[in-house]
């Protein structure tokens, strides 16, 4: 990356885009809705079970013009999901301003480990032990999605749920490789704690991106 590209990246005019595609949202409150996903490269949270480790190094992904990727997304769908990697590593102001100009509703999936930027309509907060959310993000989250990999994650989920607003929707989602083991436990936990809901990666069952 040269100096000029670095400046454009910091300004949010260019962003490292791993992939972008039109699909159906597979998780959480908006499951089943058509959405255009923009997956940004770069993440240092370091979840050992991450299913998109190839997104971690931003240098592996091409820098794209933020306004141009917004225009591409808006042609397909007016719900746009920003994901990663960790999308809040980058300045999202220009990308989201252009999406708003084009009439889009903007969702983000984030660990919350970086400060907020951009205009966001729906915030899915998925905290990780390796990089906890910034305190100010908890109150802004619309849904809390906790990934359950082992039994200790239920305690972590409750600790995180205590920090979000009372209107935030609470989801438990098994890590994909542990789904046969953890979903029965998630079911029992939800029956005992009915404020929680189950989230399932339906896109993997449908075999879509």
Binding-site positions for substrate = 24-26, 39, 83, 209
Helix (H, G, I), strand (E, B) or coil at 132: coil
Q: How far apart are CA 37 and CA 191, in angstroms?
A: 33
Which residues are part of a known binding site? 24-26, 39, 43, 47, 49-51, 83, 85, 126-128, 209
* Residue 173 CB neighbours (<10 A): 21
The closest of 43, 142, 30, 126 to 84, measured between CA atoms, is 43
* Residue 99 CB neighbours (<10 A): 28
Which residues are part of a known binding site for [4Fe-4S] cluster? 43, 47, 50
Query: By CB neighbour count within 10 A (0-12 exposed, 13-18 middle, 19+ buried), where does 208 fall?
Result: exposed
Q: Are 103 and 74 in contact (CB under 8 A)?
A: yes
Q: Are 182 and 201 in contact (CB under 8 A)?
A: no
Q: Are 57 and 44 in contact (CB under 8 A)?
A: no
* Residue 128 CB neighbours (<10 A): 20
Strand partners of residue 83: 39
Which residues are part of a known binding site for S-adenosyl-L-methionine? 49-51, 85, 126-128
Q: Are 15 and 64 in contact (CB under 8 A)?
A: yes
């Amino acid at each position: 990356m040269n100096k000029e590209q670095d400046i454009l990246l910091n300004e949010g005019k260019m962003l490292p885009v791993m992939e972008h595609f039109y699909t159906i949202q597979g998780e959480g409150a908006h499951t089943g809705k058509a959405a255009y996903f923009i997956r940004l490269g770069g993440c240092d949270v370091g979840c050992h079970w991450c299913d998109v480790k190839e997104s971690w190094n931003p240098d592996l992904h091409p820098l794209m013009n933020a306004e141009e990727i917004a225009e591409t997304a808006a042609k397909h769908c007016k719900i746009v999901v920003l994901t990663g990697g960790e999308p809040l590593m980058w300045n999202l102001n220009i990308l989201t301003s252009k999406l708003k100009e084009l009439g889009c509703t903007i969702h983000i999936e984030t660990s919350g480990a970086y400060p907020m930027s951009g205009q966001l309509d729906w915030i899915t907060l998925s905290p990780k032990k390796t990089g906890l959310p910034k305190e100010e993000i908890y109150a802004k989250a619309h849904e809390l999605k906790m990934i359950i990999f082992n039994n200790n994650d239920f305690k972590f989920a409750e600790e995180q749920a205590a920090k979000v607003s009372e209107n935030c929707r609470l989801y438990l989602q098994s890590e994909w490789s542990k789904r046969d083991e953890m979903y029965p436990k998630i079911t029992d936990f939800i029956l005992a704690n009915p404020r929680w809901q189950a989230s399932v990666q339906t896109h993997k069952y449908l075999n879509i991106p």
